[in-house]
Amino acid sequence: MKRKFVFLLCTVLINCIFSSTKVWGEVSGDMKNVPQTDSIQFSLLTCAPGSEIYALFGHTAIRYQNFSKGVDLVFNYGMFSFDTPHFVYRFVKGETDYQLGITPYSYFESEYAFRGSSVYQQVLNLTYLEKISLLKLLQDNYLPENRVYRYNYFYDNCTTRARDQIERSIQGKVVYPSVDWHKTFRGIVHEFTKGSPWDELGIDLCLGAEADKPIDIRQQMFAPFYMRYFAQDAYIQTPDGVRRPLVLREEKIVDAELDTESSRKITPMIAAALFLLLNVIIGFFQWRKQMIFWGWDILLYAVQGMAGCIIAFLFFISSHPTVGSNWLLLLFNPLPLFYLPFMIYRELKHKKDLYHTCNLVYLTLFMVLFPFLPQDFNLTVLPLALGLLVNAASHVLVLNKK
């Protein structure tokens, strides 16, 4: 909580300071007074991952230095606020707005050093005219009517925005190195969530089959460290056929270490295994006593149905990429939540209910088809599905015996 407070406080101070006309005048001055010698340097900054979910994949920004004027600023396309009205709803719906912010490099450096994230700087090999062009593009982006943009995690984020502005400023074409590996969006996400299994599970539950399709080099650059890798060996092809490297040199400008010390926590797989075991125990006692524990059923079907409502919302309504092809909707959907009142009513009236029989058959088919569905599921789904299947089986055994 203390770290979040400090971070939010710094963000407020930064926004207040750099909305002033003084700083904007320093940035704009380069467009009016062309120096005799080139004292401008632009760099691509890549920040190591942090511990928060929004920082797990690292970050990208553009550093602008004017040595003759003593200007050292960072253009950051990753600014957002949790205080935005209906932030959670807009985030789930895929309508999160980010904006370009300008930060003194000293503030930027302090923030990432405090967070425990190293920062790598790749000095760009731009001509003076290209530097002026890039500065003008960034200035135009910072205008109030342009600075806010609709964030898209895979296709339009802080990394792709920085890359696109750099490419637009160059008189020629940026050619990136070819690779012999095959990547998917989900695969790259997993590379950065290995130490955060609960975050990985949450992301996996939301992503659909589209996240498992092969992606090209340009799409891989949504991840900051992939952008850094491809930029390192990229070159600029000018119209007259001259080649020059995109990056002059790379250096680590913030050397920090993330505090990875953590107590032993229950992983999603352990929690799912305990859920399965609990269903086996409850199912056994239901069968022995020939009675249904309705308190457990109400909790179980309510949670399953609410999880299904979230996945269904993402599937049918959200504009997030790749969530509209989520085959997990077969397992987690709103039907149990909606049917729960009818289930209880039929039990109280001692009426036959085929729901559990249909549910048993349905879950069995899901388990059989699981390896053949065109989506890479998180393996935690298996014990969760087995737990639901055991619960349905216990209902069928009890009701048939009655």
Residues 18-76: tens digit of each pLDDT: 443 444 444 444 444 544 468 999 999 999 998 888 789 999 999 999 999 999 999 99
Instruction: Give pLDDT, residue 281.
Output: 96
Instruction: Give pLDDT, residue 353.
Output: 82
Does the structure show a pLDDT above 70 at 209?
yes
- Tokens (6 digits) for 223: 């991840």
Instruction: Give pLDDT, residue 88.
Output: 67
Instruction: Give pLDDT, residue 368.
Output: 94
Q: What percent of the chain has pLDDT over 70?
A: 87
Q: What is the mean pLDDT of residues 105-128?
A: 96
Residue 45, exposed/middle/buried by CB under 10 A (0-12, 13-18, 19+)? buried
Does the structure show a pLDDT above 90 at 101?
yes
135 or 85, greater pLDDT: 135
**3-class state of residue 76 by DSSP:** strand
Instruction: Give pLDDT, residue 261.
Output: 58
Helices (H), 33-174: 87-93, 105-115, 128-142, 158-169
Strands across the sheet containing 40-47: 148-150, 97-104, 71-79, 59-66, 40-47, 119-124, 247-254
Strands across the sheet containing 235-237: 173-175, 235-237, 243-245
Closest CA to 228 of 103, 127, 118, 321: 118
Residue 60 — φ and ψ, nearest 5°? -130, 140
Under 8 Å between Cβ of 56 and 196 = yes
Instruction: Please give the Cα distance from 210 to 318 (Å, whole number).
Output: 15
Instruction: Please give the Cα distance from 193 to 110 (Å, whole number).
Output: 25
CB atoms within 10 A of CB 171: 13
- CA torsion 130-136-137-138 (nearest 10°) is 110
Tens of pLDDT, residue by residue over 226-256, are 999 999 999 999 998 899 999 999 999 999 8
Tens of pLDDT, residue by residue over 333-369, are 999 999 999 988 887 787 878 899 999 999 999 999 9
Instruction: Give pLDDT, residue 402.
Output: 60
**3-class state of residue 173 by DSSP:** strand
Q: Which residues of 380-397 are buried (b: 16+ CB within 10 A; e: fewer)?
A: bbbbbbbbbbbbbbbbeb
Closest CA to 250 of 235, 264, 231: 231
> Residue 70 — left, alpha, or beta (φ > 0 → left; ψ -120 to 50 → alpha)?
left
Instruction: Please give the Cα distance from 387 to 22 (Å, whole number).
Output: 63
**HEC profile for 200-249?**
HHHHHHHCCHHHHCEECHHHHCCCHHHHHHHHHCCEEECCCCCEEECEEE
Does the structure show a pLDDT above 90 at 270?
yes
When the pLDDT of each residue in the chain is averaged and rounded to a whole number, the result is: 87
How far apart, in Å, are the Cα atoms of 379 and each of 305, 324, 370, 382, 386?
20, 21, 10, 6, 12
17 or 30, greater pLDDT: 30
Instruction: Give pLDDT, residue 96.
Output: 85
Instruction: Please give the Cα distance from 384 to 381 (Å, whole number).
Output: 5
Longest dimension (CA), the chain: 95
Closest CA to 388 of 336, 323, 312, 342: 336
Long-range Cβ pairs for the range 340-346 (8 Å, 24+): 340/297, 340/298, 340/301, 340/302, 340/305, 343/297, 343/301, 344/294, 344/298
Does the structure show a pLDDT above 50 at 311?
yes
75 or 85, greater pLDDT: 75
Q: What is the mean pLDDT of residues 97-103?
A: 94
pLDDT interval class at 290 (50, 70, 90): confident
In terms of average pLDDT, the best of 218-222, 240-244, 257-261 is 218-222
Query: Amino acid identity, residue 232?
Result: Q
Instruction: Give pLDDT, residue 12.
Output: 38
Tens of pLDDT, residue by residue over 156-192, are 999 999 999 999 999 999 999 999 999 999 999 999 9
Does the structure show a pLDDT above 50 at 15?
no
Residue 198 — φ and ψ, nearest 5°? -70, -40
Does the structure show a pLDDT above 80 at 212?
yes
pLDDT interval class at 398 (50, 70, 90): confident
Instruction: Give pLDDT, residue 264.
Output: 56
Closest CA to 44 of 110, 126, 113, 136: 126
